[in-house]
Structure 1
């Protein structure tokens, strides 16, 4: 008899498989899922000044992790770090043209993977899944 898996375990398995598949797809673009997440955050905030600390909070990542991600994105030419005009202790992070050039290709890979996730589901089921996942995220997120 197969033991019933916990919901948390299933989320972990889904995340592992999703990240592996997304990394494989992004490899052709020369970036990782973690680097993609930082770029997505910056695209979402492009009208605002964004510091490393903002990225740490927004993505719930630790300082050393974000430092490494920003370093690699800078080396690849996707971002620029510029000292803040208001507080020289901070650097504002800006997207480069190269980042905008890759944005559509990243989104295309994400859409393809999302379609794979929902194979066999109709529109109502997908909407219900999104609603339930938002509830789960709300329930577990820090206030």
Structure 2
């Protein structure tokens, strides 16, 4: 949902989500169905350049959930890093990014 939140008008396509999340069509269908059941998103079929695509839009409820989860995430980050200096926090981020890059390369 955060991917959709960063898009213009909180709207994207199913295909863009598949690519971003690197998941199959059936997998994203299941995810979108559950999000729609919870009223976090809406979907509709649209025709663009002669092709049908599914447009996915974040609802106000979905937006509110994201905002609240971001607040919670920030509180947890602050609590977890309370005893670190600014330099230590920056170093931790640097190291975690290296680990993430290494993990990504291993998946290839």
TM-score grouping bracket, smaller chain normalisation: 0.7 to 0.9
Instruction: Give TM-score scaled by structure 2 length.
Output: 0.77
Could you tell me how far 1:97 is from its partner in structure 2?
A: 1.6
Aligned length: 104
Q: Which runs of 5+ in 1 are unaligned?
A: 1-38
Q: Establish whether residue 45 from structure 1 lines up as the match of residue 7 from structure 2.
A: yes
Describe the shift of the 1:48–1:84 C-alpha distance in structure 2 as closer, same or farther (beyond 3 A).
farther
CA contact (8 A) 2:4 2:11 kept: no
Q: Which runs of 5+ in 2 are unaligned?
A: none
CA contact (8 A) 2:13 2:55 kept: yes
Q: Establish whether residue 125 from structure 1 lines up as the match of residue 67 from structure 2.
A: no
Alpha-carbon distance in structure 1 between the residues aligned to 2:93 and 2:45: 39
Higher relative contact order (CA 8 A, sep 6+): 2
- Which protein is richer in strand relative to its size? 2
Give the superposed CA RMSD: 2.3
Instruction: Give TM-score scaled by structure 1 length.
Output: 0.61
Alpha-carbon distance in structure 1 between the residues aligned to 2:16 and 2:80: 30
User: What is the correspondence of 1:37-116 to structure 2 with a 5 Å cutoff?
Assistant: 39-47=1-9, 50-86=12-48, 87-88=51-52, 90-116=53-79
